Amino acid sequence: MSAVRCFIGLGSNLGDPLANLHSALAQLAGCQGITLRGVSRFYSSKPMGPKDQPDYINAVAAVDTVLDAHAVLQMLFVVERAHGRVRDAALRWGARTLDLDLLLYADAIITDMDLCVPHPGICERSFVILPLLDLAPCLVLPNGKSLHQCRAALACDDLKPLV
């Protein structure tokens, strides 16, 4: 299998979020079958879910991989668990040490019980679109929308780039 380009969303709002993201990126870069190709700027964002939690630090990583999409997802779960993440369906959108999402797997559209790619709601989340624009400004999503079209529909006033 030849390598495909994937984009992985990263977020953290517990412990030391910046250190959590740097550590997760280092762990991803060390995974067999993964080559880290780039990382967006880091952004501070308000939480999507309950408002009584700290702000998030978000970024997106571009990776090339020879792994299939489900294997990438399982690898992301391993990295999350290594950072103390406990997945609990009852705490959806709650505070977390690390959240890793497979946003895009080349131009694949995958919808099954375990995985949905492109990630649902990708165009409604400024904390995904702005970092994606940092990495791939000419990217067109599998649905035919460009990142710039998605960006134009978002306020993005809740996002602050970190220097």
157 is catalytic: no
CA-nearest of 97, 98, 25, 13 to 61 is: 25
Q: State yes or no: is 41 an active-site residue.
A: no
Assess contact for 9 and 103: CB atoms under 8 A: yes
Annotated catalytic residue, options 52, 55, 81, 99:
99
From the candidates 5, 96, 125, 134, give the one annotated as an active-site residue: 96
Query: 39 in helix, strand or coil?
Result: strand
Give the contacts of 71 (CB within 8 A, at least 6 positions apart).
Answer: 33
Helix, strand, coil proportions of the chain in percent (round to 5)? 30, 25, 45
Tell me if residue 99 is catalytic.
Answer: yes
Candidate list 37, 55, 81, 85, residue with the active-site label? 85
- Establish whether 96 is a catalytic residue: yes
> What span, in angstroms and rounded, lies between the C-alpha atoms of 71 and 63?
14
Answer yes or no: are the C-beta atoms of 45 and 56 closer than 8 Å: yes
Beta-carbon contacts of 54 under 8 Å, excluding residues fewer than 6 positions away, are 13, 14, 17, 47, 95
**Catalytic member of 41, 92, 101, 158:** 101
| Catalytic positions | 85, 96, 99, 101
